[in-house]
Structure 1
């Protein structure tokens, strides 16, 4: 409960010793991978949010230079990966009282809110953030500034009192200067109309899944102008409309539409893609859910690789590496059947809009797969692959499609439609072998043993028609027949 002062070397070299002052340590929570160079002072000097809830929260990966002082009457939160320069002062009190009680004339000089520093933000040297304000994700407070008002996501603020001086604009990929408050407002509205990313969700009769999907998105992006979420309801008959309306009341960056009748999954995907306003369009299955802390790294990638026509999220490898390539042949070699996963698909909108026949593979159940190769071969050959276990899944049973028709006949039809104009015959044949051994074999067995066998009806005949000329055909056919 009391005050402690100690010499501390945690995370510091011998030359970086300093005094650490902590008051009411039971109301302070510090995440993993946090570096705080002493000296620093963390003080909970009010009643906080309750007996058990911490009033100072420093989340994973924050890096704080020497001289950090945090004083909380209600709550001060540093979200993940916040950086602070030297001699930064943070207090949720509306007037600062460094080193002393915030009570004046018998009552606390604070509001009921909290001070929040958003994920990836930077607070410059000799700066102060005062009162129940929010510093947005990825924003910068320049050195020697005093912030007393909210700073939106991806903005720079400077001065005493601080004002917005720069706004990140996805259209140009640059931080645009704002000479005054009116110019800053115009830039913010401009990026709301043309955000960096649209997360497009085609949905039908999965209200509970959609609810959780949206929660995993908005808990990370809030009302950010950088991300638009667009939901297309394909004439659902469950509670989907109510879920969408509930989120719409809280988040301005949620757009939605409802089809008068069910137009089929592929046409709904096409509708989502056409309706998007973002520089990039990310398709998202309604039963796939973002892992916490993964959207900001994705936005950073899209900012850095704004020249890529296609970005693929490789969920099969979570090592965090990013690779850059060019050309449909190399893309097929790198992604193969994994590019059929709708939630891994990201397209640059200006390239997508130049595709000559966007509806060519409607009714294939592989529209999203076709879109990627259409962009790479017709518009922009550059691609990026992000290795990241970015999603969890509802695990809904496969239904309403035939396994052989979609993942043999239609898959190969999409690839063959680009043969000689970006894809080589050799690469397609090499991918066919990978398709069979790494995807068709395990999934065929799983479906036959765990799910409705009707979705594998006619698989043997479809396989024979498309694989008869391959050297491993006899072995593969014998294996298929052994499953029964």
Structure 2
């Protein structure tokens, strides 16, 4: 609008003074342009492509490792992303450490809760604060492989309409460094095969990136499932139900600190609560509903007969009977296997062996294909 006004004023001045007074008119025009240059134009905020959101509580050493893995990869990404840390009233050195990081990195912001609001509320607060088109919530005890961030950013930039991105992961081991590798991923135009591939691991929030711009979820929906330990599934499931473009990143870019969870009833969360939320989004009997819950049954199988002192005690048989009792696979197989820790270990071992052989077979076929082509 300002440029149009300049043109109109210029035309008026030239018309008024005519050619014989052109110099005077020109000087007037230059004065108007000079004043226009000095005007303070409104600044349009540029939204980042990606918001990396980190909830934390009393884990400053893990947080340092995560931020180190992120900040070492940002040289070419200035302005394209933001990092938000939400501190749930830590009593360790977290606040002091974050203040130093924020002072040295303009892309990092830090918020501290007055009191501990619980991890679910801390996660949902980050969801609200995130400004990016895509939002990635990463647990403070996980971290990224070298070059993971720029590769993921480039992938998102080239797939701006992706609804959900899932990134594969690997377990941390002491002395682990990791190596740089090019990104490889599969895309899906329907949610069925994507859900079948990821299954229960949609609950692993560090591996999930959501397009917030396309799927802005009412926070009351997330609050509906508060105290289930899976409330953010409401956001993930919303994007899965309404989306039509999904990406599975095959690189194991996310490194997970194994054995660093607990303090809840494992079977109540991943059988009862998971079933409740899944049934609300995917009707019972549909392939998507069955895929997710069957995946959860297999995950829980691996915990039966193990030392699970980090989790609260519970009668897991009664929990799984109620949660999975409508599934044919549970009635015919899992309900029997679950009652024998030895069978659980054996079945899970066989499953792992077959999965490993299948993976080797697929890689072999791909190698043969490359040689032939």
CA distance in 2, matches of 1:382, 1:478: 38
Q: Map Cα deviations across residues 371-424 of structure 1 (whole Å, 9 max, x no partner).
A: 11112324x33222211111223334322221011111111112101124xx86
- Aligned position for 1:436: 297
Give the secondary structure class of the aligned counterpart of 1:476.
helix
CA distance in 1, matches of 2:328, 2:301: 17
* 2:57 is equivalent to residue 204 of structure 1: yes
Gaps of 5+ in 2: 1-36, 172-180, 343-373
- Aligned position for 1:425: 286
Runs of 4+ that moved beyond 6 A? 316-319
Q: Map Cα deviations across residues 190-247 of structure 1 (whole Å, 9 max, x no partner).
A: 67x4111110001111111111111110011158211200000011111111121121
CA distance in 2, matches of 1:383, 1:461: 36
Larger strand proportion of the pair: 1
* Cα offset, 1:295, TM superposition: 0.7
* Cα offset, 1:274, TM superposition: 0.9
Length-normalised TM-score, structure 2: 0.71
Closer/same/farther in 2, CA of residues 266 and 194 from structure 1, 3 Å limit? same
* Cα offset, 1:453, TM superposition: 6.1
* Cα offset, 1:469, TM superposition: 3.2
CA distance in 2, matches of 1:320, 1:225: 22
- Aligned position for 1:367: 231
Give the secondary structure class of the aligned counterpart of 1:286.
coil
Q: Is the 8 A contact 1:328 1:376 kept in 2?
A: yes
Equivalences, count: 291
CA distance in 2, matches of 1:354, 1:391: 25
> Superposed, which structure 2 residues align to 1:211-230 within 5 Å?
211-222=64-75, 224-230=78-84
- Aligned position for 2:126: 272
Give the secondary structure class of the aligned counterpart of 1:455.
coil
Give the secondary structure class of the aligned counterpart of 1:465.
helix
Give the secondary structure class of the aligned counterpart of 2:54.
strand
- Aligned position for 2:206: 343
Q: Root-mean-square deviation (CA), in Å?
A: 2.8
* 2:48 is equivalent to residue 195 of structure 1: yes
CA distance in 1, matches of 2:304, 2:104: 43
CA distance in 1, matches of 2:183, 2:133: 23
Length-normalised TM-score, structure 1: 0.55
Closer/same/farther in 2, CA of residues 430 and 273 from structure 1, 3 Å limit? closer
Closer/same/farther in 2, CA of residues 453 and 234 from structure 1, 3 Å limit? closer
Larger helix proportion of the pair: 2
* Cα offset, 1:319, TM superposition: 9.2
Instruction: Point out which structure has higher relative CO (alpha carbons under 8 A, 6+ apart).
Output: 2
CA distance in 1, matches of 2:236, 2:311: 30
Give the secondary structure class of the aligned counterpart of 2:105.
coil
- Aligned position for 1:80: none
Gaps of 5+ in 1: 1-181
